Amino acid sequence: MILALKLVFYALAGIAALALCLFLFSQWQSRQISARYPNIGERIDVGGFQLNSVHVPRPATADLPALLFIHGASGNLRDPMSAFLRPLEGRAEMLFVDRPGHGYSERGDEDNLTPDGQADAIARLLDKRGIGKVIVIGHSFGGATTAAFALRHKDKVLGLVFLSPATHPWPGGIDWHYDLANIPYLGRLFCNTLTMPAGLMRIESGVQSVFHPNPVPPGYVDNAAIPLVLRPDNFCDNARDVANLLTYVQTAQPHYREISAPTVIITGDSDEIVYEELHSLGLNRDIKGSELVWVKGLGHKPDYVATDLTIAAIEKVAGMNRDLREIADNVERRIAPR
């Protein structure tokens, strides 16, 4: 009996020591990641917490309205920024935002657990920045925030561009690590110990799965500062976003028919992250007058793989004459296997 108790004690002590080592490693790596990808934006109070963003003032040569970019899950403002800043340089005022709890934005209160609260926070940021009406470009999870923004802040919306949006109810659940990260107490322990080493080992393969079947652009992981999401607080906040999304869209989806802004939805038939036949087709059905651009051979990242098509969609909702189907055909030819 005494021997058994000793074995249990030594086992528990070993587990505690391992957890402490993993915790210290995660804290050290978090500092390393923050140093490698420092904040390039400005944090502004939007009601008791700070939202981080990069603002590009309206240039004298602008031919487009102000543009608001909303990133997806596991992302930050550098993701859309590295895709669109240079191609749109000199054409528009632009705002790239870290959603609450992502990148260098603070999480704020419980309202920010869902896309509508995040949309409200971004609307307050626009007011603080002195930005009026915008065209909103939202990718993946950012599509749900974009739809919420269009519903709750109609007076600020000139047009909408959805990129592989996650906006509708889907069958099944979510990846196991999101569920685990949301278990009280155990989830916080998980985020502070195991996610960092596991994430560092899987980051390259994870990015490849997001882009599949298209190649990952050279330097993407660093340019988009993807490792920021591995920091414990960011990882937990991201997991809570994803875990709450299904319940949220079940309530929000019936209201999408109230959206009246000019809308373009770009999706690929090879998206392995969201079900395009549920989300993109559903959004096209729900938003009257929207245009769905279906691209063969495109995965989950039209912002990078079909940047020209996305910019043409922005131009179209701004009132310019653009044949998006013709541009999509060119994208299909460009990305087709040889």
**pLDDT at site 124:** 98
pLDDT tens for residues 103-162? Answer: 999 999 999 999 999 999 999 999 999 999 999 999 999 999 999 999 999 999 999 999
Of 74, 39, 32, 29, the residue nearest 192 (C-alpha): 29
User: What band does 9 get if pLDDT is binned at 50, 70 and 90?
Assistant: low
Angstrom distance (rounded) from CA 131 to CA 116:
19
User: What band does 204 get if pLDDT is binned at 50, 70 and 90?
Assistant: very high
Cα 232 to Cα 31, 74, 225, distances in angstroms: 11, 12, 15
**pLDDT at site 3:** 59
Pairing of strands 157-163, 263-268: parallel
What's the predicted TM-score (pTM) here? 0.95
Say which residue the tokens 């074995």 belong to.
7
**pLDDT at site 299:** 98
> Which tokens in the block code for residue 288?
């009257």
Beta strands in the chain (DSSP E): 42-45, 50-56, 66-70, 94-97, 134-139, 157-163, 263-268, 291-295
Rg value, the chain, Cα:
21
- How high is the mean pLDDT of the chain? 95
Residue range 287-315: mean pLDDT, rounded = 98
- N residues, the chain: 338
Type of residue numbered 169: P
Pairing of strands 66-70, 94-97: parallel
Residue range 316-325: mean pLDDT, rounded = 98
Angstrom distance (rounded) from CA 4 to CA 107:
46
Query: Omega before 213 cis (within 30°)?
Result: yes
Type of residue numbered 157: V
**pLDDT at site 276:** 94
**pLDDT at site 11:** 55
The answer to whether residues 173 and 281 touch, using CB atoms and an 8 Å cutoff, is: no
> Which tokens in the block code for residue 79?
């993701």
CATH superfamily of 36-335: Alpha/Beta hydrolase fold, catalytic domain (3.40.50.1820)
The answer to whether residues 158 and 319 touch, using CB atoms and an 8 Å cutoff, is: no
**pLDDT at site 14:** 64
User: What band does 255 get if pLDDT is binned at 50, 70 and 90?
Assistant: very high
- Give me the residue spans of the domains in the chain: 36-335
* Residue 19: pLDDT over 90: no
DSSP 314: H
Angstrom distance (rounded) from CA 335 to CA 312:
18
DSSP 191: H
CB-based contacts of 331, cutoff 8 Å, min separation 6: 295, 298, 305, 306, 308, 309
pLDDT tens for residues 71-107? Answer: 999 999 999 999 999 999 999 999 999 999 999 999 9
**pLDDT at site 275:** 94
Q: CB 11: neighbour CB atoms within 10 A? A: 10
Cα 325 to Cα 68, 281, 301, 304, 328, distances in angstroms: 24, 16, 18, 18, 5
Residue range 200-213: mean pLDDT, rounded = 97
Counting runs of H as helices and runs of E as strands, what totals does the chain give? 13, 8
Q: Which helix (H) or strand (E) holds 36?
A: helix 2-36
Tell me the backbone φ, ψ of residue 335, rounded to 5 degrees: -95, -5
